[in-house]
Structure 1
Amino acid sequence: MATALLALGLVLIVEGLVWALAPSLLEDLLAALRSLTVEQRRLAGLAALATGLVLAWVGVSLGAG
């Protein structure tokens, strides 16, 4: 449970930094996402999911958590 809270906290820190430090860049990113089709967004989400799983697996393999 503590590891899940740590992971969620780190995600929120990164998200908060983007909103705080580069709000106009975030607006550009959102506009670019709106121009993608639903299928392209779904594939991007699946790619992010797969990347996250690989990174989590590597982290656990190296001894984290």
Structure 2
Amino acid sequence: MSDLWVALGLVLALEGTLYALAPGAMKQAIRQMLDLPDNILRGGGVAALAIGVCIVWLVRG
């Protein structure tokens, strides 16, 4: 369970860094995402999920 909290903390730290260092670029990225069709966003989400699971599987074995 502590690994889950560590992972959540890392996600928040990375996202916070992006918003702190480049808020304008993040706003533009969000605007561009709003124009994408749902199936493209869903595909990107599934790909990110698969990559994340593979990374955890490789690291944790």
TM-score, length-normalised on structure 1?
0.87
Q: Does 1:19 align with 2:24?
A: no
Q: Which has the higher contact order (CA 8 A, sep 6+)?
A: 1
- Which ranges in structure 1 are unaligned for 5 or more consecutive residues? none
Moved over 2 A (4+): none
Quick one: which amino acid aligns to residue 53 of structure 1?
V
Quick check: which one's helix share is greater?
A: 2
Q: Structure 2: which 5+ runs fail to align?
A: none
The 5-angstrom pairing of residues 1-65 of structure 1 reads 1-61=1-61
Alignment length (residue pairs): 61
RMSD: 0.8
